[in-house]
Structure 1
């Protein structure tokens, strides 16, 4: 009989445009393939859209994963919805605490704390050390991690995150570093780059630089548009973004009088690989204004690797944990459109090096699939908790 995994999250907006949902759904599916009986618990009042209620949206189809685990929506009393993290966490864990021999897995420290408090196997996957540290139960959760009689564990996505938790006296042997992942199969598209460019209506005769993700301030879009001003003969494809962010950046593009930029707006997750593969070069222009730049493990980084395209990324220590300058990417100083342009131009001027770096990126992506990630986590959990 498979061991039950109760995967819990406070982010109930699934399906959605956010990267969080991609990670949650993909890893749950892969944990199920690893032998766990997975049940994903979502917050009902935030998650259930009219389309979901009427079964017009299939979550598994939306994220292109196998329907091999259960999804359950929990409602909570209205008087516990604030503070949401504590009220929902306590009630949600309590409702599932008597479901037999279960492993509780969560991306939120509040849920991890209550699972440990109720004597369950509790695994906390932290994607943002700073956010976790702000929680009112953070120091109580630390005590559960420091208690050798508690079955608790921590998974972080970067070495930087591990270092910070160790400084807070989390035992090192209770921490596993496992970066985010990618669904490599989604990028196995046989269409030529010319066909893909034609399909999405961008110039076939120009080099295309692609970006995919949110366009919030601090994500480097302003610097990317500055870069587009330097490289007028290169076309820039900007995929994603909320309407208000797109409008703000379109005004900036108009100010620069840029005719070589296209904003696509939201693109369904299943179609994103085609847009990335229509690009000759991919960019990741994060800046220090991105609050999580010290701890982030961006999912777009692994999508880019899977494309096997040249990558230009801004140089942060956490980025260097995966991307190596002149080996699987070109790293440039943050905050400068000129430096991003220099990285792009280097790839254009050095096609043989670009080919070598792209091939290495594709090889490296194979070590960061959701499947491989789930297997490594599962092996580690079975070892430290002695479960089968």
Structure 2
């Protein structure tokens, strides 16, 4: 099948949505599909976008710029994407997260719309209503069950459209190969290495990690990721010698860091924001780093949020803590530090569950309608 993936975020970039989109296009290609990704020009200067993201396949990435026309730039870009699709030959399926481009091209081919948050902007919801009314819409993919439930409440007609499948598909990770080099981390020989990988936006729990470093001076804490501005903000507030900021790394370069960590943290707070404070996503978040932790068989300590319990089981494949209780997080770290067998057991079960349920390749089959598949299945 020929698939055009329509994305509204820059490729390449420092943001997680770019990683998600590239991983999905890679998985679609693994499944035997011919994929072209449409995205705005990148914001990170790289020579090879596929090497930057570490994809296995060299699917085509076509950049379509957004003109700087207030109020109209996104729509103009959407029309340009549609024109390019027609010029190059209409694909068999339009898939993606670019709401305006999907709407603009929805008369050309069947459409699958994937969403990761319920937009607070009424104008965006209005565009979604238009897309939901298009006869070519075949599926809507939600990144968590909580998000699917909220969409059903906000768009009650969506659930009654017999031609549209509603599919919940969590984020994923590729299975990590056994072995491989570990990063040479700064810090003290023999110190427990506690890792965090991800952005440093509000609600990601950076303050919790720094409080833990104060309470647990015998452990070394490593934070990988974040924009230069966010990293500078937190570094200026942290004078502890057991905290190491590593900054943003290409997605293809993260595996050695995962291998080097003894314990990994996912301290999401009760309010979690996207880049620039756009969109509060704590009810629906499905963090890719969580699945990458699982892929590498790491002992995970995560926030006890209802949406994370869709994937995590306390004491089975992780330890869960109240998001804002530093006492509980400190106790959990201490417990794992003193019990290597428990670390290994939690990590092994996390890896097993990732392999069984949450690989990109399996997700590709889950989200795509099969040729000739009848509509209306849930």
| 2:200 counterpart of 1:202 | no
Q: Which residue of 2 aligns with 1:239?
A: 224
More helix by share: 1
Distance of 1:269 and 1:382 partners within structure 2:
36
Contact 1:209 1:234 in 2 (8 A): yes
Distance 1:41 1:373, change over 3 A: same
Contact 2:85 2:91 in 1 (8 A): no
- TM alignment of 1:183-222, pairs within 5 A: 183-185=174-176, 188-191=178-181, 196=182, 199-222=184-207
Distance of 1:317 and 1:357 partners within structure 2:
20
Q: Deviations over 1:276-334 (max 9, x none)?
A: 21110000111123121111111101111011111000111111111111110101001
Post-superposition offset of 1:381? 7.0
Residue 152 of structure 2 is aligned with which of 138, 147, 166?
A: 166
Residue 283 of structure 1 is aligned with which of 255, 265, 279?
A: 265
Q: Which residue of 2 aligns with 1:383?
A: 373
Post-superposition offset of 1:231? 0.9
Post-superposition offset of 1:135? 5.6
Q: How many positions carry a matched residue from both structures? A: 362
Instruction: Describe the SS at the equivalent of 1:129.
Output: coil
| 2:5 counterpart of 1:7 | yes
Q: Deviations over 1:319-360 (max 9, x none)?
A: 111111111010100123222112111212333322211110
| 2:18 counterpart of 1:16 | no
Contact 2:90 2:109 in 1 (8 A): no
Runs of 4+ in 1 over 6 A off after TM superposition: none
Q: Which residue of 2 aligns with 1:302?
A: 291
More divergent stretch after superposition (272-281 vs 348-357): 348-357
Distance 1:137 1:334, change over 3 A: closer
Distance of 1:93 and 1:47 partners within structure 2:
20
Distance of 1:315 and 1:48 partners within structure 2:
34
TM-score (norm 1): 0.85
TM-score (norm 2): 0.88
Distance of 1:7 and 1:357 partners within structure 2:
36
Q: Which residue of 2 aligns with 1:151?
A: 137
Contact 1:179 1:368 in 2 (8 A): yes
Distance of 1:314 and 1:83 partners within structure 2:
40
- RMSD over equivalenced CA pairs, Å: 2.4
Residue 324 of structure 1 is aligned with which of 292, 313, 320?
A: 313
Distance 1:216 1:143, change over 3 A: closer
Distance of 2:370 and 2:319 partners within structure 1:
33
Residue 250 of structure 1 is aligned with which of 208, 224, 235?
A: 235
